[in-house]
Amino acid sequence: MAKAQLLLTTPLLIALVTAEINVHKYTNKAMNLFKFVKQLLVAGLLSLLITSVIPVAKAYAFDCEPVGNLCSVVVSEPGPQSGQKWRSSDNFSTSLCEGTRMQWHIEQTDEADQIIFDVALDKSGSDPTIFQGLVNCSITELIKDPKMYIGNPRNATKNFQVITYTQ
């Protein structure tokens, strides 16, 4: 009888020991994963804390170098031109520009990182707005047209120059 009990309980004991080993193995993996996630969170929080305490100069905050070929240059007023409600620049052309994308740069002002503007096509009747909310270094699709203009500038206090590059 004892031999029969031993034969019956041995596989059960082996199964229990194996299960306990597996539980510890998975518990250790889970703990290691938890520790790793905790370290990532701490590193992320430290990174946020450090970057919020240390001021970063605007010149180094954004990597915005002109990319591609010069396409157009236009000067925009800080508000609508005299007699206009929306238009703030003369027409400029992108007809001869090559590529598929256009990069927009605001220059000749220290307000470049605050200025927001829209772009429209000068058509008879109503002028369609083709780009809205452009900022320094925005990238849009290239639309080839001989009569485009800047309009609805925001956050500008003086004239600024918009230069486009195509890629």
Output the CA torsion sign for 43, 47, 49, 50: positive
Q: Side chain identity at 97, as an amino acid letter?
A: C
Percentage of the chain exceeding pLDDT 90 = 57
Half-sphere exposure for 157 (CA within 13 Å, toward CB): 4
Give 61's pLDDT tier (boundaries 50, 70, 90).
very low
Q: How far is CA 47 from the centre of its chain?
A: 19
Nearest to 156 by CA among 103, 116, 105, 104: 116
Q: What is the pLDDT of residues 98-118, one digit of tens each?
A: 999 999 999 988 899 999 999
Q: What is the pLDDT of residues 144-157, one digit of tens each?
A: 999 999 999 999 99
Q: Calculate mean pLDDT across residues 78-86.
A: 97
CA distance 6 to 116: 83
pTM metric for this prediction: 0.63
Q: What is the pLDDT of residues 8-48, one digit of tens each?
A: 555 655 654 555 556 566 677 767 766 765 665 556 655 65
Segments making up each domain of the chain, as ranges: 2-54, 65-166
